[in-house]
Chain A
């Protein structure tokens, strides 16, 4: 026990002695949490809208006013011809072009039917879909009003049937993205810091040659490993604590569930990551290799965690792969406990898998670590 204590002491000294690293470990992640949590929003707003009005009647003007009134659209310009509009679209100056045909009002009154051409920049397919929904909603409402205004509804039989849908958004009534993103980004930061540091740590001693010296000492394998990894475990927990405080104070993210549960889960989760880091450093010779591998897995874990894009929409094989993604479990647990107040029994599946993962990962890491070559 005393031996482990000394190794831990040595590790902490090394961490605090490297003045260039301290801000990178403690300040950078928190700055990122504060800044980047604001960036992650899928909300489609400030749509760059433009129109070409060939009709120029009070009727077409009214339709345009509706778009102007909507908070989603920023009216950019009124183009005289579709050629100019298209070239603006090519330059990326506008995202939506609404073209009102000539005789728009006349045709509607005469034929009771008229077309309206809409062009949407669809490179971001999902955003284009949402924009299309917004546009249709506005046109529909306009339609309905025009109908009421122009037509006399006399017979009750002709009143159209109506299904009213009442949406309600639970746990996050205002659809605030920060409530959603802050816990997720905190998860990423805790993971990245602990994985990168633990992954580099032992391989660094290997590369510089000091690992040999450690290996010829009477320190036992398990003492060495525990002593090496414990400081990073502490770091991870510390980061979580500061992150949760920031989430509460700065972003007003609620903590509906039990913080104790959060900490218990995190303490096991960090073990998974540390085991992974150790495993990586056992199989690499240089810090460069170790970092490439760590980077490779982190990018995959992040993008397939369900934090930025939904897991349900992935093909089945990819969904199966996410079952090996620790970040996915952590993001789920964090959101469930913090925002929904899920209890231990609710997160039991994630908890069990993470626990199993920790055992397997650390088992592999300890097994593959050799004192002698």
Chain B
């Protein structure tokens, strides 16, 4: 036991001696969560719009004002004919063009119907669709204003309540995601590299001929990183509570427990990677190239999993980050207890056991 403690001490020394890595280790997650928490949002605002007003009347001017004064649009640009549409889109700035037909107000008054054409640059389908919807609903509101003298006979009024995030802040969606990504990648990358490094430099041999048992070597290697990752997790949670005003509706204790479980999960994945790679380069390519995009895309961090094709929904189940994000959102935003997240917890636990088991198996083979 004393030997083991000595070994852990050695590992801590290694880490603390490398000031630069330490700085990166703690500085980066903070910088990233601040940057992303403030900057990233999947709302769509301030889109540049071009307007082709063919009738140039008071009504169309009013409509144009209504549209450009909304927060969804920022710069407007007036164009004179249809030929210009192609050109403004190709320049890339303008995302939507609005065409108001000839004799707009005359048609509206005489024929009770006037048309607005909304052309969007659908190379980004999400923005295109959303802008299109926004514009239609602005037009719809205007239409109701015009019709307000006419008694509308029957009305069903939906009373909508947005639960768990009444202000629709996208921070609530992104902070759990960013936290997961940082913990996952930092933990998996750190362990996978530190073990492979010993292999590459040849010092692993020395450790293996020492009286320490192989599993002690591994635990000793991982232990300091558990400690560092927990500090990272605490800092991230504190930042999200105090700076981004994320609520923690559920129990802090449960949050802590789940975070530790997830950290151990990521670290054991790191160990697994290190047992199958010979050089640091390989280890890093697996933990960076192999993990980064799948974790960002398949975890439900940005893109809703339910909208994906079925095979991908199935694949997403093997991404530990997916389960942790569900747990985080549950505890922080919905205030659920262990009774409602035990399934996700068991899955994370199972994955951890699997990673560790597999690494031990692989590890023994290497020793022979």
Binding site for B on A (CB under 8 A): 18, 20-21, 24-25, 28-29, 32, 35-36, 38-48, 89-92, 108, 112-130, 132-133, 135-136, 139, 142-143, 146-147, 150-151, 158-173, 175-177, 179-180, 185, 188-189, 192-193, 196, 200, 204, 207-208, 284-289, 291-296, 298-300, 302-304, 308-310, 312-315, 318, 321, 332, 335-336, 339-343, 346-347
Q: Identify A308's interface contact among B133, B137, B302, B336, CB under 8 A.
A: B302
* Residues of chain B contacted by A302 (CB below 8 angstroms): 292, 296
In whole angstroms, how far apart are the Cα atoms of A268 and B125 in the complex? 28
Interface of B is mostly: helix
Nearest chain B residue, comparing its CB with the CB of A45: B307
In whole angstroms, how far apart are the Cα atoms of A210 and B303 in the complex? 45
Q: A20-B278, A312-B74 are in contact. Are A299 and B32 (CB under 8 A)?
A: yes
Number of A-B residue pairs, CB cutoff 8 Å, is 384
In whole angstroms, how far apart are the Cα atoms of A300 and B142 in the complex? 41
In whole angstroms, how far apart are the Cα atoms of A313 and B134 in the complex? 15
Question: For B35, B126, B142, which residue has the most chain A Cβ atoms within 10 angstroms?
Answer: B126
Binding site for A on B (CB under 8 A): 18, 20-21, 24-25, 28, 31-32, 35-36, 38-48, 74, 89-92, 95, 108-109, 112-130, 132-133, 135-137, 139-140, 142-143, 146-147, 150-170, 172-173, 181, 185, 189-190, 193-194, 197, 200-201, 277-282, 284-286, 288-290, 292-294, 296-298, 302-304, 306-309, 312, 315-316, 326, 329-330, 333-334, 336, 340
* Residues of chain B contacted by A167 (CB below 8 angstroms): 117-120, 132, 136
Q: Do A42 and B42 touch (CB < 8 A)?
A: yes
Q: Identify A287's interface contact among B108, B157, B281, B334, CB under 8 A.
A: B281
Q: Identify A41's interface contact among B123, B142, B308, CB under 8 A.
A: B308
Nearest chain B residue, comparing its CB with the CB of A172: B122
* Residues of chain A contacted by B292 (CB below 8 angstroms): 192, 295, 298-299, 302
Q: A29-B289, A135-B158 are in contact. Are A165 and B116 (CB under 8 A)?
A: yes
* Residues of chain A contacted by B181 (CB below 8 angstroms): 299
Return A87 CB to nearest CB of chain B, in Å.
Answer: 9
In whole angstroms, how far apart are the Cα atoms of A346 and B307 in the complex? 34
Nearest chain A residue, comparing its CB with the CB of B113: A162
Q: A120-B162, A196-B285 are in contact. Are A341 and B143 (CB under 8 A)?
A: no
Q: A90-B336, A196-B289 are in contact. Are A163 and B139 (CB under 8 A)?
A: yes
* Residues of chain B contacted by A147 (CB below 8 angstroms): 152-154
Q: Do B312 and A143 touch (CB < 8 A)?
A: no
* Residues of chain B contacted by A294 (CB below 8 angstroms): 288
Nearest chain A residue, comparing its CB with the CB of B299: A39
In whole angstroms, how far apart are the Cα atoms of A302 and B295 in the complex? 13
In whole angstroms, how far apart are the Cα atoms of A189 and B306 in the complex? 25
Q: Identify B157's interface contact among A114, A164, A304, A314, CB under 8 A.
A: A114
In whole angstroms, how far apart are the Cα atoms of A214 and B330 in the complex? 55
* Residues of chain A contacted by B122 (CB below 8 angstroms): 169-173, 175
Q: Identify A304's interface contact among B40, B279, B334, B340, CB under 8 A.
A: B40
* Residues of chain B contacted by A341 (CB below 8 angstroms): 90
* Residues of chain A contacted by B326 (CB below 8 angstroms): 92
In whole angstroms, how far apart are the Cα atoms of A347 and B91 in the complex? 7
In whole angstroms, how far apart are the Cα atoms of A298 and B293 in the complex? 11
A-B pairs with lowest CB-CB distance, top 8: A125-B168, A318-B39, A169-B122, A122-B162, A172-B122, A175-B125, A42-B126, A122-B165
* Residues of chain A contacted by B304 (CB below 8 angstroms): 41-42, 44, 124, 127
In whole angstroms, how far apart are the Cα atoms of A294 and B282 in the complex? 15
* Residues of chain B contacted by A336 (CB below 8 angstroms): 90, 92, 123
Q: Do A126 and B42 touch (CB < 8 A)?
A: yes
Q: List 7 A-B contacts (CB under 8 A).
A: A42-B304, A48-B306, A113-B155, A122-B168, A125-B169, A143-B154, A165-B117
Q: Identify B297's interface contact among A40, A139, A193, A342, CB under 8 A.
A: A40
* Residues of chain B contacted by A335 (CB below 8 angstroms): 123-124
